[in-house]
C-alpha cells in the first residue's frame, strides 16, 4: 500500500489500540479441506492390525516415531522436531459430531459448530470473538483475520472480521478509493467490508506478494504472511488459513507420492508460520483440523474413500506438547466404525473449546451457549497449555 493511501485509510478508520500483555495469545486455525487421511499423517504402526488393514498404504517402519504405537508421516520432519521440543500435541481418533460422508456437510458442521450441518450461517470462531477479553479492547475486525480473499464459514457471522490475500493487481489510488468509500457510505454492507480490507492492507505493508499458482507454495506464503500479521504488536491475534487437496481417492502413495508431497507442503508452511511469528511463537497455538478421515482399507484405486475419525494437531510455544492424546479404539474389525472407518473417540470440539477457554480466555459458559451450542458432552480438554492462560 502506498504511503498516500495508507494515510487515506487511516483517516477513514479509528487508529487501533495496542494490545496489552495479558491478551497477547495468538491462535491460528488451519482448515484442511477434502478430508485428510489421519492414518497416513499419523500411522498407528504399533497397532497389531495396522499393517494388514492398510496394505499397500502402510508405513510399517516409520522414522519419525512419537511413541510405541504412533508415528508421524516421514514428510512431517519439522512437526516432529516440535514434538521433540514438547511444542506439539497430536490427537487421534478425532471427529466432529458429523457421521455421514459428504465433504460439504462435513466442512459445514466443522465450521458452524452446532453439531448439525447447515444449522447456522455463522461460524463458531466468529461467535466466540465477543467472548474474548481482547474484544473489550478493540474492534473484532482488528482481532481476527482470514488469510483469503473471502472469509471461511468458521469466521463468518455478526462480528466483523478482516480478510487479506496477496494481490498482483495494481493498487487503486487513494483519491479514487476515498470516492468509493463515499459512494458506499450509505450502504453498510459495502462500507464495512471496504473498511476492514483497508485495515488489513495497511498492516500487511510491503513484501507480502507471492505467486499463487502452486497451491503448496501458496499455503507456505500465506502462512508466512499470517505469522507476520500476528507478530505485529498491534496486529490481529487470530488467523484462519485453509488448504485443499486432501481428497486422495486414487494413487495416494505411502512414504512417497501425492499425499506425501501435500504433507511436506503443510510441514513447510507450519514451519514458515513459526519463523514469521518470531518471539510471538512462545505465546502461540496453531490448530490443524479436517472435516473427517478416510477408510482404513485401501480402495480399488490405490487411494482411500471418505471415512470418519482422523487426526488433529495443536502446535505452538504455548502448547504443553510432546504427547499423543487419544483413547485409541484400535483397528481390529470389531473396533471399526461401520466396519470400515477409524472409530471416533474424541470430539474435535473438546480441543476447540480447550483452546478458546485456556489459551484465549473465553468464558466457558459462553462457549457452551454461543460458540458450540449443544456440545455439553464435549468437555473442553484441559492440560493443553503450559500455563493456564497463555500470555
For another protein, the closer of residues 75 and 252 by Cβ is 252
For another protein, the closer of residues 186 and 365 by Cβ is 186
Contact indicator for 246, 33 with CB cutoff of 8 Å: yes
84: left (phi over 0), alpha (psi -120 to 50) or beta: alpha
For another protein, the closer of residues 22 and 183 by Cβ is 183
- Contact between 338 and another protein (CB under 8 A)? yes
- Contact between 167 and another protein (CB under 8 A)? yes
Among 21, 56, 233, 279, the residue binding another protein under the rule CB under 8 A is: 56
* Distance of alpha carbon 163 from alpha carbon 9, whole angstroms: 16
Least distance to another protein, CB of residue 272, Å: 20
Least distance to another protein, CB of residue 322, Å: 34
Can you tell me whether residue 83 is helix, strand or coil?
helix
* Distance of alpha carbon 343 from alpha carbon 160, whole angstroms: 37
Residues in a beta bridge with 341: 295, 337
Among 10, 14, 17, 100, the residue binding another protein under the rule CB under 8 A is: 100
Can you tell me whether residue 128 is helix, strand or coil?
helix
For another protein, the closer of residues 82 and 294 by Cβ is 294
- Contact between 150 and another protein (CB under 8 A)? yes
Among 12, 49, 148, 231, the residue binding another protein under the rule CB under 8 A is: 148
115 grid coordinates? 453439531
- Contact between 175 and another protein (CB under 8 A)? yes
* Among 92, 89, 108, residue whose Cα is nearest residue 44: 92
- Contact between 202 and another protein (CB under 8 A)? no
Identify the DSSP state of 281.
G
Phi, psi of 285 (to 5 degrees): -135, 130
For another protein, the closer of residues 105 and 368 by Cβ is 105
Burial of 17 (0-12, 13-18, 19+ CB in 10 A): exposed
* Among 319, 315, 326, residue whose Cα is nearest residue 293: 326
- Contact between 171 and another protein (CB under 8 A)? yes
For another protein, the closer of residues 81 and 255 by Cβ is 255
Residue linked to cell 499463487:
212
14 grid coordinates? 479509528
In terms of DSSP bridges, do strands 238-243 and 144-146 run parallel, antiparallel, or are they unpaired?
parallel
Mask 59-88, x = binds another protein (CB under 8 A)? ------------------------------
Least distance to another protein, CB of residue 335, Å: 18
For another protein, the closer of residues 298 and 318 by Cβ is 298
Among 49, 180, 282, 320, the residue binding another protein under the rule CB under 8 A is: 180
Looking at 203-262, which runs of residues are DSSP E strands? 238-243
**Centroid of chain to Cα 60:** 29
285-314 residues near another protein, rule: CB under 8 A? 298-303, 305-306
* Among 13, 245, 40, 21, residue whose Cα is nearest residue 133: 21
Residue linked to cell 500476528:
230
- Contact between 188 and another protein (CB under 8 A)? no
Among 250, 332, 333, 388, the residue binding another protein under the rule CB under 8 A is: 250
Residues in a beta bridge with 26: 284
Contact indicator for 71, 65 with CB cutoff of 8 Å: yes
* Among 321, 376, 318, residue whose Cα is nearest residue 347: 376
Least distance to another protein, CB of residue 187, Å: 5
- Contact between 186 and another protein (CB under 8 A)? yes
20-39 residues near another protein, rule: CB under 8 A? 33-34
Among 176, 209, 333, 377, the residue binding another protein under the rule CB under 8 A is: 176
- Contact between 103 and another protein (CB under 8 A)? yes
Say how many residues touch another protein, by CB under 8 A: 66
- Contact between 121 and another protein (CB under 8 A)? yes
Identify the DSSP state of 55.
G
Q: Which parts of this chain interact with another protein (CB under 8 A)? A: 33-34, 55-56, 100-105, 117, 121, 141, 146, 148-151, 153, 156, 162-165, 167-173, 175-177, 179-180, 182-184, 186-187, 189-190, 192-198, 200-201, 215, 244, 247, 249-250, 298-303, 305-306, 338
Amino acid at each position: 500500500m502506498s504511503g498516500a493511501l495508507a494515510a487515506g485509510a487511516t483517516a477513514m478508520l479509528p487508529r487501533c489500540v495496542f494490545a496489552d500483555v495479558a491478551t497477547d495469545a495468538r491462535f491460528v486455525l488451519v482448515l484442511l479441506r477434502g478430508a485428510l487421511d489421519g492414518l497416513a499423517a499419523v500411522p498407528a504402526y504399533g497397532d497389531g492390525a495396522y499393517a494388514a488393514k492398510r496394505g499397500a498404504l502402510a508405513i510399517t517402519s516409520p522414522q519419525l516415531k512419537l511413541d510405541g504405537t504412533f508415528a508421524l508421516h516421514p514428510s512431517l520432519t519439522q512437526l516432529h522436531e516440535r514434538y521433540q521440543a514438547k511444542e506439539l500435541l497430536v490427537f487421534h481418533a478425532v471427529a466432529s459430531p458429523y457421521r455421514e460422508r459428504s465433504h460439504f456437510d462435513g466442512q459445514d458442521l466443522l465450521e458452524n459448530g452446532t453439531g448439525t450441518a447447515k444449522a447456522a450461517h455463522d461460524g463458531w470462531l466468529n461467535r466466540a470473538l465477543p467472548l474474548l477479553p481482547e474484544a473489550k479492547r478493540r474492534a473484532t475486525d482488528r482481532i481476527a483475520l482470514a488469510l483469503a480473499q473471502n472469509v471461511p464459514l468458521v469466521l463468518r457471522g455478526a462480528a466483523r472480521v478482516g480478510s487479506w490475500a496477496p494481490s498482483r493487481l495494481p493498487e487503486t489510488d487513494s483519491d479514487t478509493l476515498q470516492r468509493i468509500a463515499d459512494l458506499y457510505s450509505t450502504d453498510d454492507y459495502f462500507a464495512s467490508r471496504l473498511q476492514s480490507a483497508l485495515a488489513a492492507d495497511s498492516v500487511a505493508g510491503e513484501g507480502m506478494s507471492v505467486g499463487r499458482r502452486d497451491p503448496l507454495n501458496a499455503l507456505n506464503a500465506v502462512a508466512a504472511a499470517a505469522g507476520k500479521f500476528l507478530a505485529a504488536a498491534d496486529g490481529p491475534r487470530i488467523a484462519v488459513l485453509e488448504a485443499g487437496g486432501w481428497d486422495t481417492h486414487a494413487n495416494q502413495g505411502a512414504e512417497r507420492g501425492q499425499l506425501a508431497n501435500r504433507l511436506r507442503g503443510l510441514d513447510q508452511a507450519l514451519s514458515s508460520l513459526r519463523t514469521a511469528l518470531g518471539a510471538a511463537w512462545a505465546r502461540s497455538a496453531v490448530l490443524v483440523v479436517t472435516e473427517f478421515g478416510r477408510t482404513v482399507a485401501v480402495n480399488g484405486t490405490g487411494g482411500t474413500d471418505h471415512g470418519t475419525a482422523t487426526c488433529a494437531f495443536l502446535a505452538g510455544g504455548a502448547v504443553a506438547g510432546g504427547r499423543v492424546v487419544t483413547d485409541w479404539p484400535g483397528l481390529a474389525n470389531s473396533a471399526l466404525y461401520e466396519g470400515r472407518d477409524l472409530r471416533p473417540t474424541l470430539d474435535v470440539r473438546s480441543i476447540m473449546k480447550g483452546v478458546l477457554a485456556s489459551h484465549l480466555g473465553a468464558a466457558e459458559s459462553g462457549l457452551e451457549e454461543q460458540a458450540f451450542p449443544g456440545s455439553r458432552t464435549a468437555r473442553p480438554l484441559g492440560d493443553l497449555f503450559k500455563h493456564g492462560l497463555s500470555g
